[in-house]
Amino acid sequence: MFDSPFGSFFDGMPVFFVIVFVIILAIVVTTLVRNITTWSSNNQQPRLNVEATVAGKRTRTSGGNQTAVSTHYYVTFEVASGDRMELKVSGQAYGLMAEGDQGMLQFQGTRYLDFQRSTDQRSDV
């Protein structure tokens, strides 16, 4: 046979398991590189403060059955120009916002930083 750079780790393992291992490793490395690239790109962007309105909210859950369930929170903001952006927010920030809220949005690239609701909004309650 040939000398493997991995020693005897893969010796005796069916080829199928080696292929599955390589595919999983490639997915993990690709996800890690993508997340680091996004993080770096956001760090290079300026921190912006803009007036915005909460246009929508949504959640996405992942996991289940025998694994832990995670919930991801997203809020869509509309700025004065009519452009919309969806940003991932914490559960606490998500709970403090309601559709129609207006205020100052602070963000950096695709990273949500803060939303300060205007205090002069009329309450319909």
Q: What is the pLDDT of residues 51-94, one digit of tens each?
A: 999 999 999 998 877 778 899 999 999 999 999 999 999 999 99
Instruction: Please report which confidence band the pLDDT of residue 123 belongs to, taking 50, 70 and 90 as the band edges.
Output: low
Distance, CA of 118 to CA of 80 (rounded, Å): 15
Confidence of residue 119 (pLDDT cuts 50, 70, 90): confident
- Output the pTM of the full model: 0.72
3-state SS, 71-98, equals: EEEEEEEEECCCCEEEEEECHHHHHHCC
Position 114 scores a pLDDT of: 96
